[in-house]
Structures are given as structure tokens and as C-alpha cells.
């Protein structure tokens, strides 16, 4: 809070304010789409986005992460609304999930994020980039049957990511294609060094320009080429609820059904949202730190507490559960943000726009917004990133590529789980080889433990012991092993019994008895 309340420098504001507007443009249709896919009121998605911007940004442990409704929770939310008997009852579960997240933060559960390998985090970023590209191609071609922020491979309409993309190629909309080409062209132009050096481009970011131009182009279609215009009738534009009066605006808020507070089902749903939301938040925080140009380290426990407060307030106001979201966070970073001011601006602009500019925002074509996301996706999954991981060798590249493939063909959490399993395999494999050294001279052999020995090293120990020939002297040196597991002792005793029949003599140094420098047996 104190860091945020310090007056930002002009240079910081010059970057953060426009970046916040860009994030708002990206977040608005995502919040609406997630609410629609969840079976919740559309305004519930807006509430979640506003709370994520105005409240969580103040309390967050990260300078650049952006919070709001997450696509990864849509299935859970949709099922929970039905299970609890309606959205008002569900908002009570959202509030309770916030309380649980505050407890998680107090218990310092945020440390879990530190145990996720870098290869898996970078794989997650690249995979999200690929998913964004694959998912936005249909919208760029004018096929808007699926909501803009969907990230799951299997879709509700029984299509999957690839079949949806292929079907959109059959009859693309000329208007959407032209808007996409112009918008991406503007984004590329804005990245040119000559233009980036201009001071005015920091106040007028490329994504904002491409959305404005795309909207004007679509309006021109309506005047001179009506067949090319993208309209609300076919869900080709933003569809924000419009309130005709202040009373109608406040009527969009949903009051929680507090009578459900003591029901077991409510607490089960709350615990599920808290656990899944916390995991997604920790993953996003780790990924955001990787993208941060200043490489700052976020406070994950503080972030959990911030998310808890956000969910408590979002549920109370009738909003969807919120998490830190990597798509919006990466868009924030690529738009040039440097501090949490950008996230606060995104929430403030969303609140003001929904109340004052809803009719105007409903003219924005989804193809223009898809163009912004396509460029974000390309930056996340560029060829450079893949080549960097390849250069690090198989122990880094294989978990990376496994994570990428798993996320693309399943979803974020399942993909991360599969990537973690791949990483654990290589950790165990490398630990086996590094833990034990076996060398020989003539008939004298030295078996040295280079680190603490646990049961996971037993396979490698047995393999090395099988290499010792008959009629040899084997010296076992445990000096560097501060801890030796009981399985290792038992394995050595079994080998000692077998060695007596093979003519192998053994000497133990600092192994069975750590109080004596050398013990000979």
C-alpha cells in the first residue's frame, strides 16, 4: 500500500496509464466471456475485473500482475452455481474462499510457488502464448461462436481448439480479416525503433490505436459496406450490459444469499475455489516475475492475502471469483507497464466505462481485440524462447516442451502437473548420478557419497556396487554425507554379506559411525 501511495514519477505514469487502458481493453471482453461461459450474470464478470483492479492492485505482492475472473475457473463456477441452487448462493462461497485465502497467506502457503521449476514456468508461458494464438485465430477471421477468453482444449460446443480453428477457415468474414490485418499492421508499426523513440507513442500505445482504428473501420463498413460490418446480432462485437438509469445500474449487483453460509456444500465449493484460485495465482506470480523487465521478486504470501480480500469483496458485491491472470498480466507488461498503477488504472477505467461509455464500448469488434491478443501470444511463444530452452539441454528442454504440449492439449493446471512430473523425473535422475562416485586403480575401488543419501539413491547405489569385481578392495567413503537413510545402510549390509562369498574386502570411512573419523570393518 505504501509503495503504491507514493506519487508516481511522470515517466512511470507516462507508461502505466496507457498500459492500464490497454489492459482494460483486453480484460473487458474476457470478463464478459468468462461470466457468460460460467452461467453467471454478465455484470458479475465486470465486478470481478473492477475489484481485481481497484482493490487487489493496492494490496498485491506483485507490481505487474493483473487480477480478475479467470478462464480456468469457468467449469468449477458453472457446476457450483447449479450445485448451490443459483448465483446468489454461489457468491457466499466466493466470499468464504476469500477468507480461506487470507488464512493461506497468513500460514505462508505462498512458498509453494517457489518449488515450481523454471523450465515448467517458461513452458507455461510459451504454452499460454500458443493457446492464445490458436484460440484467437477464429475471432480474427470473424468466427465468434466461442467466448474470447476460452483457454480449454475441449470446448462446450463439442469442438476443440484445432477443429474450431479449422472450421473458421471455411468461410472467413471479409470485414474481420481486413480489421485484423490493419490492426496487426499498426501493432507491428508501433514496434519499429524509429516510432518507439517518439515520446507521444508512450502516451498512445499501439494496442489502443489498433482498437480505435478497428472500431472506426467497422463503422465505415456499416455506412458503405454493410455486408462486411461486424454486428452485435452475430456476437461479433463487445456486448456490455447497458444501464439506462442509476437505479438500473445498481440493480445489476447481486446480493449474497447468506442463509447458505452454514451449508456444507457452500464450504466445499469455497475450499475448491480457494485452492484452485491460489494455485493459479502462484503460477501467474512466478510467470510474471519472469517477464518483469526489472526482475523484481513478488511476495507470494502477500499476494494470497490480497486475492483473499479481493474475493471477499467480489463475492459480497455479486462478482465472480478472481485470481491473478497471466494473459492480462503479460499484456500489461508488453504494453510498457512498470508499476501497479497500471492495474489500478485498468480497474478505474473499467468502472467508469461501464457506467458512462457502455454503448460506445459495444461498438468495438472482437477481431480488433483478437489482434492485440495474437501479438501478445506471439511474444510469449516466440522462436527465441524455444531456442533458448533447447540450448540448455535435455534436462531443461524436455520438461519445458512436455509442459507446453500438455497445456495446449488439456488446460493450465493439468499441464503444469504433467510438466512437474517430467521435471521430478529429471531431478531424480540427475540426483542419482551426482550422489555417488565410483573410481578404481588396479583391484582397489573407491565408492564415495557426494551428498546426503536417501532411498531415491538406492537404485544408483546398487548399480555401482554391481560394477565392483570379485577379489577386490572396496573403500566406502561417507565423509560428505551428513545424512544417510536407513535404506542405504541396509543395502550396504546386504552387499557386505554377498561380498564375503566373492572375496571382496570392505573398508568404511565415516559411514556406520560418524563419531569416528575412520571405521574399518
pLDDT tens digits, 322-356 = 999 999 999 999 988 999 999 999 999 999 988 88
Q: pLDDT grade, residue 115 (50/70/90)?
A: confident
> pLDDT by residue (tens digit) across 500-519?
889 999 998 887 654 333 34
Q: Across residues 129-141, what is the average pLDDT?
A: 94
pLDDT classification of 395: cutoffs 50, 70, 90: confident
Nine cell digits for residue 346:
485498468
Strands 505-509 and 473-477: parallel
Q: For residue range 262-315, list pLDDT tens digits in order.
A: 899 999 999 999 999 999 999 999 999 989 988 888 999 999 999 999 999 999
The pTM (predicted TM-score) of the whole model is 0.84
Contact 473, 441 (CB under 8 A): no
Half-sphere exposure of 103 (CA within 13 A, CB side): 10
Residue extents of the structural domains in the chain: 2-172+232-348, 389-430, 433-509
Smallest Cα–Cα separation from 106: which of 301, 270, 311? 301
User: Concatenated DSSP letters for 306-366?
Assistant: HHHHHHHHHHHHT---EEEEHHHHHHHHHTT--STHHHHHHHHHHHHHHHH-HHHHTT-BH
C-alpha angle with apex 457: 451 to 458, nearest 5 degrees? 135
Split at pLDDT 50, 70, 90, the class of 459 is: confident
Average pLDDT taken over every residue of the chain: 89
Structural element, H or E, at residue 439 = strand 436-441
Record the cell numbers describing residue 121, joined without a space.
514456468
- Give the three-class secondary structure for 300: helix
Could you tell me if 93 and 373 are in contact, meaning their C-beta atoms sit under 8 angstroms apart?
A: no
Asked if the model's pLDDT at residue 59 lies above 80, the reply is yes
The model's pLDDT over 155-214, given as tens digits with 9 standing for 90+, comes to: 877 889 999 999 999 889 999 999 999 999 999 998 888 887 777 777 788 899 999 999
Supply the DSSP symbol for 421: H
Over residues 400-425, mean pLDDT: 90
> 326-334 and 10-38 helices cross at what angle (nearest 10)?
150
Whole-angstrom CA distances from 155 to 33, 133, 151 are 13, 16, 9
- Three cell numbers at 98? 476469500
Q: Give just the sign of the alpha carbon dihedral 384, 388, 389, 391.
A: positive
Please tell me the predicted confidence (pLDDT) of residue 432: 57
- Residue 241: other Cβ atoms inside 10 A: 17
Distance, in Å, from the CA atom of 106 to the CA atom of 487, rounded to the nearest integer, reads: 37
Query: Looking at the domain that runs over 433-509, which CATH code has it been given?
Result: 3.30.750.24
The residues, ordered by sequence, that sit 6+ positions from 276 with a Cβ below 8 Å of its Cβ are: 72, 73, 76, 413
Higher-scoring residue by pLDDT: 71, 426: 71
Amino acid at each position: 500500500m505504501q509503495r503504491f501511495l507514493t506519487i508516481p514519477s511522470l515517466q512511470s505514469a507516462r507508461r502505466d496509464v496507457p498500459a492500464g487502458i490497454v489492459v482494460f481493453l483486453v480484460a473487458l471482453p474476457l470478463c464478459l466471456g468468462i461470466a457468460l461461459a460460467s452461467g453467471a450474470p454478465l455484470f458479475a464478470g465486470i465486478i470481478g475485473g473492477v475489484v481485481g483492479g481497484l482493490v487487489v492492485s493496492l494490496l498485491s505482492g506483485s507490481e505487474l500482475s493483473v487480477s480478475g475472473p479467470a478462464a480456468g475457473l469457468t467449469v468449477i463456477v458453472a457446476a457450483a452455481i447449479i450445485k448451490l441452487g443459483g448465483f446468489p448462493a454461489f457468491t457466499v462461497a466466493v466470499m468464504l474462499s476469500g477468507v480461506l485465502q487470507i488464512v493461506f497467506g497468513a500460514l505462508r502457503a505462498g512458498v509453494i510457488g517457489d518449488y515450481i521449476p523454471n523450465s515448467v514456468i517458461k513452458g507455461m508461458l510459451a504454452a499460454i502464448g500458443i493457446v492464445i494464438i490458436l484460440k484467437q485465430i477464429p475471432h480474427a477471421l470473424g468466427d465468434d461462436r466461442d467466448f474470447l477468453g476460452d483457454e480449454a482444449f475441449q470446448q462446450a460446443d463439442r469442438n476443440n481448439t484445432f477443429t474450431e480453428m479449422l472450421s473458421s477457415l471455411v468461410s472467413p468474414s471479409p470485414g474481420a480479416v481486413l480489421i485484423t490485418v490493419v490492426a496487426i499492421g499498426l501493432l507491428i508499426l508501433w514496434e519499429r525503433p524509429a516510432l518507439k523513440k517518439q515520446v507521444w507513442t508512450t502516451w498512445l500505445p499501439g494496442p489502443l490505436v489498433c482498437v480505435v482504428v478497428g472500431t472506426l473501420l467497422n463503422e465505415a463498413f456499416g455506412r458503405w459496406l454493410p455486408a462486411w460490418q461486424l454486428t452485435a446480432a452475430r456476437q461479433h462485437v463487445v456486448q456490455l450490459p447497458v444501464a439506462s438509469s442509476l437505479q438500473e445500474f445498481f440493480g445489476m449487483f447481486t446480493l449474497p444469499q447468506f442463509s447458505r453460509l452454514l451449508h456444507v456444500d457452500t464450504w466445499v465449493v469455497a475450499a475448491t475455489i480457494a485452492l484452485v484460485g491460489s494455485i493459479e495465482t502462484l503460477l501467474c506470480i512466478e510467470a510474471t516475475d519472469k517477464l518483469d523487465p526489472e526482475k523484481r521478486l513478488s511476495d507470494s504470501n502477500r499476494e494470497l492475502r490480497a486475492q483473499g480480500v479481493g474475493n471477499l469483496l467480489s463475492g459480497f458485491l455479486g462478482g465472480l471469483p478472481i485470481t491473478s491472470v497471466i494473459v492480462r498480466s503479460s499484456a500489461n507488461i508488453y504494453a510498457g507497464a512498470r508499476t501497479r498503477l497500471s492495474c489500478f488504472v485498468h480497474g478505474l477505467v473499467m468502472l467508469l466505462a461501464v457506467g458512462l461509455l457502455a454503448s460506445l464500448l459495444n461498438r468495438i469488434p472482437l477481431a480488433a481485440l483478437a489482434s492485440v491478443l495474437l501479438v501478445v501470444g506471439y511474444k510469449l511463444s516466440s522462436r527465441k524462447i524455444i531456442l533458448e530452452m533447447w540450448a540448455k539441454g535435455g534436462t531443461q528442454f524436455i520438461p519445458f516442451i512436455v509442459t507446453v504440449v500438455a497445456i495446449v492439449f488439456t488446460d493450465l493446471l493439468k499441464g503444469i502437473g504433467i510438466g512437474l512430473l517430467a521435471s521430478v523425473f529429471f531431478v531424480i535422475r540427475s540426483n542419482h548420478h551426482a550422489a555417488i562416485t565410483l573410481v578404481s586403480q588396479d583391484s582397489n575401488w573407491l565408492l564415495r557419497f557426494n551428498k546426503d543419501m536417501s532411498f531415491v539413491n538406492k537404485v544408483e547405489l546398487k548399480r555401482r556396487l554391481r560394477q565392483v569385481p570379485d577379489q577386490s578392495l572396496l573403500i566406502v567413503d561417507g565423509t560428505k554425507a551428513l545424512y544417510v537413510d536407513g535404506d542405504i545402510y541396509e543395502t550396504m549390509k546386504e552387499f557386505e554379506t554377498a561380498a564375503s562369498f566373492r572375496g571382496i574386502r570392505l573398508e568404511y570411512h565415516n559411514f556406520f559411525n560418524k563419531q569416528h573419523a575412520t571405521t574399518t570393518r
